Amino acid sequence: MAMIVLFGVFIRYDEESNPHWIEFRKSHNISSDIENDFYFRYPSFQDVHVMIFVGFGFLMTFLKRYSFGAVGFNFLIAAFGIQWALLMQGWFHSLDYTDGKIKIGVESLINADFCVAGCLIAYGAVLGKVSPVQLLVLTLFGVTLFAVEEYIILSLIHARDAGGSMVIHTFGGYYGLAISWMLYRPNLNQSSRLQGSVYHSDVFAMIGTLFLWMFWPSFNSAITDHGDGQHRAAINTYLALASTVLTTVAISSFFQKHGKLDMVHIQNSTLAGGVAVGTAAEFMLMPYGSLIVEFCCGIISTLGYIYLTPFMEKHLKIQDTCGIHNLHAMPEIIGGIVGAITAAAASESVYGREGLINTFDFEGAFKNMVPTRQGGHQAAGICVAICFGVGGGIIVGCILRLPIWGDPADDNCFDDEPYWEVRDTCLKAQRNFF
Amino acid sequence: MAMIVLFGVFIRYDEESNPHWIEFRKSHNISSDIENDFYFRYPSFQDVHVMIFVGFGFLMTFLKRYSFGAVGFNFLIAAFGIQWALLMQGWFHSLDYTDGKIKIGVESLINADFCVAGCLIAYGAVLGKVSPVQLLVLTLFGVTLFAVEEYIILSLIHARDAGGSMVIHTFGGYYGLAISWMLYRPNLNQSSRLQGSVYHSDVFAMIGTLFLWMFWPSFNSAITDHGDGQHRAAINTYLALASTVLTTVAISSFFQKHGKLDMVHIQNSTLAGGVAVGTAAEFMLMPYGSLIVEFCCGIISTLGYIYLTPFMEKHLKIQDTCGIHNLHAMPEIIGGIVGAITAAAASESVYGREGLINTFDFEGAFKNMVPTRQGGHQAAGICVAICFGVGGGIIVGCILRLPIWGDPADDNCFDDEPYWEVRDTCLKAQRNFF
Amino acid sequence: MAMIVLFGVFIRYDEESNPHWIEFRKSHNISSDIENDFYFRYPSFQDVHVMIFVGFGFLMTFLKRYSFGAVGFNFLIAAFGIQWALLMQGWFHSLDYTDGKIKIGVESLINADFCVAGCLIAYGAVLGKVSPVQLLVLTLFGVTLFAVEEYIILSLIHARDAGGSMVIHTFGGYYGLAISWMLYRPNLNQSSRLQGSVYHSDVFAMIGTLFLWMFWPSFNSAITDHGDGQHRAAINTYLALASTVLTTVAISSFFQKHGKLDMVHIQNSTLAGGVAVGTAAEFMLMPYGSLIVEFCCGIISTLGYIYLTPFMEKHLKIQDTCGIHNLHAMPEIIGGIVGAITAAAASESVYGREGLINTFDFEGAFKNMVPTRQGGHQAAGICVAICFGVGGGIIVGCILRLPIWGDPADDNCFDDEPYWEVRDTCLKAQRNFF
């Protein structure tokens, strides 16, 4: 309801999705309809959309009795989040001061999807331990924090972050971990019978993994510059992802007993590549640069699953259901650092004069910026993202600890039963068996 | 066979998919290959294609023992239907009178997919109760009726229907319901052991739901005007869909005992948004307009599943397996009405002079048309669609009642066994158990 | 590691993915960023990407206990293969002689995906009977052979092969069959309890089938000429695929007892259409031509599953797990022949003068080429592909027979247990039951 009023007051079409486009085109000397931003971005937008709803949703179906919650709540959060994000991001980024309206186009939709991705990452850490109402609260605050943090990092600090390494993944990762830490459940082992996968739930999760993996080049290139920017971001991400798969398989096989592979690593660590190359994807990272970054990332992420997640649960009291620390938070720190270094190392000889200005957007208030300083700003961006993530997570975690949200009991975690009609009498009987 | 002959006689490439394109381009002063219609429409086409084959196919896999039939027969109908649709729609819409050939391009492929969607909706109503031969007959007549109805609504009445609210969903919905009414089975409860979902079949169905949901913006924007038309249709649909999810979850939770969510609602009612915004998607519905429409639709559709479907089965003798009345027929009536109102309210101040002519296609024989009259034509379009749906459905239903089609016995409905090799001995034993 | 060094030495961005693009654009008089090759090819690239990872991966999940291996090893091979393919294809096709670097762009990524497809086809023949290390060896040699064969067929012989009928499918098919023949296991029936599908594994496989089927038009049109070439290839493939579905269903139903349909045929033979139209897709095959080709192909492919696969296993000692002979090898021979005939029959009256030169690339060293001779060259291409496939397969098969690769024992084939952590204790118990 409130959403309708807010949309009524604030949201309008931008000039490219408006019937006045014909006049706009003529007055701006644009020769063809195909130069509408829609055709530059829409295929990537749809890929991102698939990542958000199918990718994240199915990735979390690995638990044996929480598939409805994984896909369904993911759907709920994302659908709620994108509406709220259009408003919040609009106020900060695309408010038209002449008439006080937010003008939306396809880029706004992509940004809203990005914003929601941050909250879905956070959902990964608390998967199975919270109620849908808690998730909506998490999303409401998450999107709000995201919009502020994004405004600070991208507009005030002027960091570049094409694939949202800092803005999305670092923030989302630490936000989720902080909330998980606040909601620590000492007696979670009462649900341990349900905290694992069965054969076909792992196959379902692979659907999520693969769609995330395949479309990550679109994610990182969706809002980069037209032309070479999108092209380069896609290539870098493609290479980075391919490289991570090999590293993950090698490490997983090496550290498991009998050299067996672990589906958890394949499902998650293979994606670390896309995360880590996020910031630098549009820079001249060079193909071998992508490979090096991902080689490191694959190792760290897989080892994280083997050693760090149990350690965090035991000693830091952080119960991270999906291991988002290994998949998003750590690779992102790496990604942010790589982005800072690559930016600092940029030069006119590599980018060309116009290319440099274009890629780093050294225009307007920032026309005296130089690459080395840009590197510093990138680094500052990482810090802001971490602060917002941890700080915001702790505050929101406090709110979520209030006993009014109907969260599940310790022995009911990771179970669809409390929130869904499960008609499946046969499996109901089995539940006591597991 | 017959198809090959008909294609040989009638179907040819249009000027954009013909090697003479190079000359065509030069003679029409088109500066670049990228202005070939292919690049405007192909990404949307592929999304629509996914909706037809994966979306509709998997949406219907929710039944515990009818997944092969759901996906497989959907595949069969759709593949047969698109060939027949190319011919039928070609005769009515794209016949080149100079040489008597049908010229096809990417837009024809999209239209064929749309046409098939109508039949797949109808399949939803009779899912599990008919034989594959009956389905082919249903498709043969369905596509034919569709092409005639589409010709009347779009060409003669000059209604606009970008996402096919009237043409596809209203027609398909009532066509299916009328057939289901004609094929009423009083003893269907003999199959009641199979008329439900199991845990993983609901997860499979979510694959269908999500792909339909995500790609609906492409569906509604696939054949709208280049430039702002496609852009606006995508934005409106995106917003509408997001809004419906929230309403559906709220209503589902509110009306179920213990506030639990029902997967059936999540799988189906969340899609009502895309349906309802179909006609109006390319108009200046405004973002808040989309939200309002969908807010209503989500409520009506979900309540339909809770109250109307049991009522229809008991009192109207309509057995609607997938609840297409709630998902397609009702939202579409709303969508059609919204389209009529939005069209009637169109003005030059909102659209601009050229934008108005362009959006409503007030050209040629219709150059004296005004928006208010257009609204009336839209309303007439809805009536035509309902008449064709109900009338066609009753006639085809009569044909399908002939005892020559090998339909399954009452205690064999919703079961893959009669039509598929099921190798799965373990589950065969279980069947008697359910 | 080695990969990083090789990429560091050889791989660079091409001029369209380079920040110097702005200058390149201006100097080449390109009016807009949208004419960057990225926008011509990226949507098709993503579709191809989905086919490789989800399509091939899930198509092979039909075995009851080999889903992890199917999806996981497919993922591993493909990710390894695309890196190696970028190098190998780069050396042969896109080496820039001025600075000795390989320049990559979106077309290189598509070609790498194509190259990997050949190896994944070969994987289909040995599915479940080899270790991951053997698969990596198979891929390493497969990609290398592929790059050489592709260079000979496309550059030296100057055959046209848009959808890779010869280059990808014929080679991949015979390569896999030859390896399977070399690795013949006389006692494979010890694993026969696992060599079949269960209900839900067949549904998973349908995910693969459908994504392959739907995106095949993108596969065949991904690297054809801008403009009419891509447009025509997509239309031809779309029609061909639709036609094959009908034929497959008819034949499957006709030859099975009680007229029941067999999921194996639906999953595989429906795809033969895309394979067979691969070479000719960009030619003026005419819509009815596509239908005729596919009508034949559907029959041959389905009959192949019913009669030929058992025959090959019994008498030729070729154990072809996925039936790639019926899906890839045979349809491809047909496709190659159709391509040769269509090319030979090309004329200026049908293509137009410029269209003919453009479509067949009669430029440079081949400017005196005529269509009839082109037909001969196409036929020569098929022979080269078969020779490389069979010859390469035998050699690699010999290497794979060395007892150092850790292949599974005869009673452990088609089982995920030896290579994956399977946590599923419940199903572990069941394994002895099957």
Question: Maximum CA pair distance of chain A?
Answer: 71
Residues of B in contact with C214 (CB under 8 A): 46, 49-50, 53-54
Query: For testing the chain B interface, which of C193, C238, C349 should be mutated: the one with the most B CBs within 10 Å?
Result: C238
- Rg of chain B's alpha carbons, rounded to an integer? 22
Indicate the residue of B21, B33, B423 with minimum beta-carbon distance to C197.
B423
Question: Maximum CA pair distance of chain B?
Answer: 71
- Considering chain C, what is the average pLDDT of its residues? 83
Residue B426 has pLDDT above 80, yes or no: no
Is B232 within 8 Å of A18 (Cβ atoms)? yes
pLDDT for C424: 62
Query: For testing the chain A interface, which of B58, B220, B231 should be mutated: the one with the most A CBs within 10 Å?
Result: B231
3-state secondary structure of B409: coil
Q: Is A198 on the interface with B (CB under 8 A)?
A: no
Q: Which of A237-246, C25-34, C72-81, C204-213 has the lowest mean pLDDT?
A: C25-34
Query: For testing the chain A interface, which of C1, C5, C13, C431 should be mutated: the one with the most A CBs within 10 Å?
Result: C13
Per DSSP, A36 falls in state S
Asked whether the beta carbons of residue C198 and residue B79 sit closer than 8 angstroms, the reply is no
Say whether the ipTM exceeds 0.85: yes
Is C65 within 8 Å of C414 (Cβ atoms)? yes
Is C332 within 8 Å of C349 (Cβ atoms)? no
Q: How confident is the model at residue B424 (pLDDT cuts 50, 70, 90)?
A: low
Residue B312 has pLDDT above 50, yes or no: yes
Chain C: give the shortest CA distance to residue B349, in Å: 31
Q: Which of C374, C380, C255 is nearest to C305 (CA)?
A: C255
Q: Which of C229, C226, C216 is nearest to C169 (CA)?
A: C216
Q: Which domain range does residue B390 map to?
A: 44-423
Q: Is B195 on the interface with A (CB under 8 A)?
A: no
Pairing of strands C95-96, C101-104: antiparallel
Q: What percent of chain C has pLDDT over 90?
A: 15
Residue B386 has pLDDT above 50, yes or no: yes
Indicate the residue of A260, A284, A287 with minimum beta-carbon distance to C19.
A284
Q: Is C373 on the interface with B (CB under 8 A)?
A: no
Q: Say what angle helices B67-93 and B106-126 make with each other, to 10 degrees.
A: 140
Which residues are within 8 A (CB) of A270 and not within 5 positions of it... i.e. 6 or more apart? A209, A213, A241, A244, A245, A248, A298, C75, C79
pLDDT for C306: 82
Residue A433 has pLDDT above 50, yes or no: no
Q: Which of C5, C13, C223, C1 is nearest to C102 (CA)?
A: C13
Indicate the residue of A34, A49, A132 with minimum beta-carbon distance to B214.
A49
Asked whether the beta carbons of residue C33 and residue A292 sit closer than 8 angstroms, the reply is no
Residues of B in contact with A204 (CB under 8 A): 200, 203
Residue B183 lies in a domain: yes
Question: Rounded to whole angstroms, what are the CA distances from A384 to A144, A151, A153, A381, A387?
Answer: 15, 11, 7, 5, 5
Indicate the residue of A40, A260, A270 with minimum beta-carbon distance to C34.
A40
Residue C395 lies in a domain: yes
Q: Is A26 on the interface with C (CB under 8 A)?
A: no
Phi and psi at residue B420, to the nearest 5°: -130, 150
Residue C421 has pLDDT above 70, yes or no: yes
Asked whether the beta carbons of residue B22 and residue C286 sit closer than 8 angstroms, the reply is no
Asked whether the beta carbons of residue A263 and residue C204 sit closer than 8 angstroms, the reply is no
Q: Is B132 on the interface with C (CB under 8 A)?
A: yes
Neighbours of C370 (CB within 10 A): 12
Chain B: give the shortest CA distance to residue C355, in Å: 5
Asked whether the beta carbons of residue B42 and residue C226 sit closer than 8 angstroms, the reply is no
Residue A88 lies in a domain: yes
pLDDT for B431: 42
Enter the tokens of residue A32. 């063809």
Residue B75 lies in a domain: yes
Chain C: give the shortest CA distance to residue A205, in Å: 11
pLDDT for A211: 92
Asked whether the beta carbons of residue C263 and residue B17 sit closer than 8 angstroms, the reply is no
Q: Which of B415, B409, B38 is nearest to B188 (CA)?
A: B409
| Beta-bridge mates of residue A11 | A102
Q: Which of C241, C249, C247, C243 is nearest to C218 (CA)?
A: C241
Q: Which of A206-220, A261-275, B39-53, B74-88 has the lowest mean pLDDT?
A: A261-275
Residue A323 has pLDDT above 70, yes or no: yes
Q: Which of A48-62, B53-67, B190-204, C417-431 has the lowest mean pLDDT?
A: C417-431
Residue B432 has pLDDT above 50, yes or no: no
Question: Rounded to whole angstroms, what are the CA distances from B370 to B162, B335, B359?
Answer: 19, 21, 12
Q: How far apart are the first and last CA of chain B?
A: 43
Does B288 or A52 have the greater pLDDT score? A52
Return d(Cα C72, Cα A246) in angstroms, integer: 11
Chain A: give the shortest CA distance to residue B146, in Å: 29
Q: Which of B137-141, B232-236, B348-352, C287-291 has the lowest mean pLDDT?
A: B348-352
C64: closest chain B residue by CA:
B424
Burial of C28 (0-12, 13-18, 19+ CB in 10 A): exposed
Q: How confident is the model at residue A431 (pLDDT cuts 50, 70, 90)?
A: very low
| Strands annotated E in C43-128 | 95-96, 101-104
Q: Is B79 on the interface with C (CB under 8 A)?
A: yes
Burial of A314 (0-12, 13-18, 19+ CB in 10 A): exposed
Residues of C in contact with A256 (CB under 8 A): 421
Residues of B in contact with C354 (CB under 8 A): 19, 22-23
Return d(Cα C78, Cα C53) in angstroms, integer: 7
Return d(Cα B243, Cα A86) in angstroms, integer: 13
Q: Which of A123-127, B122-126, C107-111, C413-417 has the lowest mean pLDDT?
A: C413-417
Indicate the residue of C31, C40, C218 with minimum beta-carbon distance to B31.
C31
Residue A60 lies in a domain: yes
Asked whether the beta carbons of residue C13 and residue A284 sit closer than 8 angstroms, the reply is yes
Indicate the residue of B200, B235, B242 with minimum beta-carbon distance to A83.
B242
Asked whether the beta carbons of residue B17 and residue C228 sit closer than 8 angstroms, the reply is yes
Indicate the residue of A8, A19, A33 with minimum beta-carbon distance to B352.
A19
pLDDT for A141: 92
Mean pLDDT value of segment A125-152 = 90
Among the residues of C222-328, which ranges form H helices? 228-255, 263-268, 272-276, 287-303, 309-311, 324
Mean pLDDT value of segment A333-362 = 79
Does C289 or A170 have the greater pLDDT score? A170
Apex CA C189: angle with CA C187 and CA C192, to 5°?
150
Residues of C in contact with A217 (CB under 8 A): 46
Is C339 within 8 Å of C280 (Cβ atoms)? yes
Q: Is A422 on the interface with B (CB under 8 A)?
A: yes
Q: Is B311 on the interface with A (CB under 8 A)?
A: no
Q: Is A311 on the interface with C (CB under 8 A)?
A: no
Enter the tokens of residue C231. 């447009």
Residues of A in contact with C62 (CB under 8 A): none
Return d(Cα B163, Cα B312) in angstroms, integer: 28
C208: closest chain A residue by CA:
A207
Neighbours of A180 (CB within 10 A): 29
Residues of B in contact with A63 (CB under 8 A): none
Among the residues of A256-401, which ranges form H helices? 263-268, 272-276, 287-303, 309-311, 324, 330-344, 348-351, 353-360, 371-400
Phi and psi at residue A156, to the nearest 5°: -80, -55
- Residues C77-113: pLDDT tens digits? 999 999 889 888 888 877 777 777 888 888 889 999 9
Enter the tokens of residue C415. 């089982």
Q: Is B387 on the interface with C (CB under 8 A)?
A: no
Q: Which of C65, C156, C48 is nearest to C108 (CA)?
A: C48
pLDDT for C431: 42
pLDDT for B331: 83
- Considering chain B, what is the average pLDDT of its residues? 83
Indicate the residue of C234, C292, C355 with minimum beta-carbon distance to B42.
C234
| Strands annotated E in B163-252 | none
pLDDT for C432: 39
Residue A80 lies in a domain: yes
pLDDT for C1: 65
For B309-326, what is the HEC assignment?
HHHHHHHHCCCCCCCHHH
| Strands annotated E in B4-47 | 11-13
List chains adjacent to chain A, taking adjacency as at least 3 C-beta pairs closer than 8 Å: B, C
Residues 230-289 of A with CB under 8 A from C: 230-232, 234-235, 238-239, 241-243, 245-246, 249, 256, 260-263, 266, 270, 284, 286-288
Residue A26 lies in a domain: no
Is A306 within 8 Å of A292 (Cβ atoms)? no
At A58, which amino acid appears? F
Asked whether the beta carbons of residue B261 and residue A420 sit closer than 8 angstroms, the reply is yes
Residue C182 lies in a domain: yes
Q: Which of A313-317, C22-26, C98-102 has the lowest mean pLDDT?
A: C22-26
Sign of the dihedral defined by the CA atoms of residues C139, C145, C150, C151, in that order? positive
- Residues C394-405: pLDDT tens digits? 999 998 888 887
Does A178 or B330 have the greater pLDDT score? A178
Question: Maximum CA pair distance of chain C?
Answer: 71
Does B358 or A263 have the greater pLDDT score? A263
| Beta-bridge mates of residue A95 | A102
- Rg of chain A's alpha carbons, rounded to an integer? 22
Mean pLDDT value of segment A139-152 = 91
Q: Is A200 on the interface with B (CB under 8 A)?
A: yes
3-state secondary structure of A161: coil
- Rg of chain C's alpha carbons, rounded to an integer? 22
List chains adjacent to chain C, taking adjacency as at least 3 C-beta pairs closer than 8 Å: A, B
3-state secondary structure of C261: strand
Residues of B in contact with C350 (CB under 8 A): 19
DSSP secondary structure, C361-426, as one string: T--GGGTT--HHHHHHHHHHHHHHHHHHHHHHHHHHHHHHHSTTS-PPPGGGTT-STTTB----HH
> A–B: how many Cβ contacts below 8 A?
193
pLDDT for A1: 65
Which residues are within 8 A (CB) of A69 and not within 5 positions of it... i.e. 6 or more apart? A127, A128, A416, A419, A420
- Residues A355-374: pLDDT tens digits? 777 777 777 777 777 778 88
3-state secondary structure of A114: helix
* Cα atoms in the Cβ-side hemisphere of radius 13 Å centred on B155: 10
Is B106 within 8 Å of C235 (Cβ atoms)? yes
Return d(Cα A220, Cα A162) in angstroms, integer: 6
Instruction: Tally the domains of chain C.
Output: 1
Enter the tokens of residue C394. 């035998």
- Residues C323-344: pLDDT tens digits? 888 888 888 888 888 888 888 8
Residue C293 has pLDDT above 60, yes or no: yes
Asked whether the beta carbons of residue B214 and residue A54 sit closer than 8 angstroms, the reply is yes
pLDDT for B1: 65
Q: Say what angle helices C199-221 and C37-50 make with each other, to 10 degrees.
A: 160
CATH number at residue A160: 1.10.3430.10
Does B102 or B142 have the greater pLDDT score? B142
Residue A384 has pLDDT above 80, yes or no: yes
Residues of B in contact with A427 (CB under 8 A): 198-199
Neighbours of C403 (CB within 10 A): 6
Enter the tokens of residue B350. 């909102």
Return d(Cα C248, Cα C300) in angstroms, integer: 9
